[in-house]
Amino acid sequence: MFIAAAAIAVSASAQKTVVTSSKAGDNWYIGVNAGAQSDKSFEKYAPTLAVRAGKNFTTVFGVAFEGEAGFNTHTVECRPYANILTNVDVNVLGTANLMNLFAGYKGEPRAFEVTALGGFGWGHGFVANLSDKALNALTSKVALDFAYNLGSDKQWQIYIEPSVNFALAYNELMPAADIQYDINRAKFGLKAGFNYKFGNSNGKHNFAIEQLRDQAEIDALNAKINEAQAAADAAKKAVAAKDAKIAELQKALTECQNKPAPAPVVEKKAANLQPSVVFGQGKSVVEKSQMANVNMIANYMKQHPEAKVKISGYASPEGNAELNQKLSEKRAEAVKNILVKQYKIKADRLETEGLGATDKLFDEVEFNRVALFNDTNK
């Protein structure tokens, strides 16, 4: 009654938390303990060994199932027991974690805890010359576990347990009406043991806590989520509009890049010097038929030592503008090389330029594949 009242008081003042990992398969443990027990005289001690399995329903309350055996250590001549066992007890015990009950659960077990145990069971004694039926008994056990929790997730527990086991009534020896907690029918025990806590659905070996939020806070969070979603939708629309604009600009840029470059405008005027060198389509080699014109320019420069000649190369407008530009430059250089190497005209008296493609010099397209000469000193 005291524990129940304390639990109600603690629950009333507890923080709003939800304890997770409370499924049917969670929070089970198993262990063993061993020690000694004696009657109230404490003159003779009998060793005991027990196996315990249990489940914690909450961070405070649980249940444990225990099977315990007491052993005889006296000589055969003196002992009144039928065999090496003095007694066996099977108990169902309720458990209450007093630390969590009064101080609350912080999300994992404390390093040190105190747990109260109490319940009922069935016992059987092994005494010579008495029937098995006479030695069956209704029993009750109360105990305290002083435990330490160990391991990375507090999955191991070692404990010291003082206990009292009462024989409430024996068949044929003590009638049911005589059931009572009598110190003369009790055995006092002191044991040490350990428990292993199995893994839970939360990935841990113990309870975890989760903060609860009230409805007003939930509504406020939902409003923020909706606001953020609306902002995200607006941002998506803005990004989509920008992407469309970028695509439009990229298309326009591509169309612009693919347009042929406009042919350079060349004024249609007579060259300073009459001779010209005509080239074949796509070629920059001076053909033999054109060497007479190159010879005329060489003679002119020999007769006029002060003359400096600019050689201007051109290409007809067919084909790629970049290639036509390079072709016009090569044509001017080809004529210069002949004048320098073959006619020994000094290179510093000659200047070349490539003016790319044109259709402005002559009406006939092929006549525009030409190198023209200008005396820059006139």
pLDDT more than 90, % of the chain: 52
183, 211, 239: which is the final residue of a domain? 211
Same-domain pairing of 279 and 196? no
pLDDT of 343 higher than 60: yes
Same-domain pairing of 124 and 30? yes
pLDDT band at 16 (very low <50, low <70, confident <90, very high): very low
C-alpha distances (whole Å) from 62 to each of 15, 27, 119 are 21, 9, 12
What is the model's pLDDT at position 265? 55
CATH of the domain at 329: 3.30.1330.60
pLDDT band at 270 (very low <50, low <70, confident <90, very high): very low
pLDDT of 95 higher than 50: yes
Question: pLDDT tens digit string along 163-215?
Answer: 999 888 765 555 555 677 888 888 999 999 999 999 998 889 998 877 666 78
Give the Cβ contact number of residue 35 at 10 Å. 19
Two structure tokens written together for 125: 């004694």
pLDDT of 224 higher than 70: yes
Q: Is residue 12 part of a domain?
A: yes
Q: Is 249:241 a contact under the CB 8 Å cutoff?
A: no
Same-domain pairing of 329 and 195? no
Same-domain pairing of 316 and 184? no
- Residue count of the chain, please give it: 378
Q: Is residue 204 part of a domain?
A: yes
Q: Is 325:358 a contact under the CB 8 Å cutoff?
A: no
Same-domain pairing of 187 and 328? no
Same-domain pairing of 23 and 93? yes
- pTM higher than 0.95: no
**More confident call, 135 vs 59:** 59
What is the model's pLDDT at position 15? 43
211, 229, 246: which is the final residue of a domain? 211
Same-domain pairing of 47 and 131? yes
Lay out the sheet containing 350-357: strands in order across: 273-278, 370-375, 309-315, 350-357
Same-domain pairing of 285 and 367? yes
What is the model's pLDDT at position 133? 54
Pairing relationship of beta strands 273-278 and 309-315 according to DSSP bridges: unpaired
Two structure tokens written together for 308: 């400096």
| Domain housing 152 | 2-211
Same-domain pairing of 144 and 16? yes
Distance, CA of 271 to CA of 208 (rounded, Å)? 98
What is the model's pLDDT at position 36? 93
What is the model's pLDDT at position 268? 44
Q: Is residue 323 part of a domain?
A: yes
Q: Is residue 216 part of a domain?
A: no
Q: Is residue 33 part of a domain?
A: yes
Distance, CA of 3 to CA of 101 (rounded, Å)? 9
Same-domain pairing of 207 and 278? no
Helix pair 321-341, 291-303: axis angle to 10 deg: 60
The position carrying tokens 């109360």 is: 142
Same-domain pairing of 285 and 203? no
Q: Is 333:277 a contact under the CB 8 Å cutoff?
A: no
Q: Is residue 356 part of a domain?
A: yes
Cα angle for residues 196, 201, 203 (degrees, 5° grid): 70
Average pLDDT, the chain: 84
Q: Is residue 241 part of a domain?
A: no
**More confident call, 217 vs 79:** 217
Distance, CA of 134 to CA of 123 (rounded, Å)? 11
What is the model's pLDDT at position 45? 83
CATH of the domain at 51: 2.40.160.20
Average the pLDDT over 86-90 and give the result: 88
Distance, CA of 197 to CA of 262 (rounded, Å)? 86
Same-domain pairing of 311 and 164? no
Q: Is residue 235 part of a domain?
A: no
Q: Domain tally for the chain?
A: 2
163, 193, 211: which is the final residue of a domain? 211
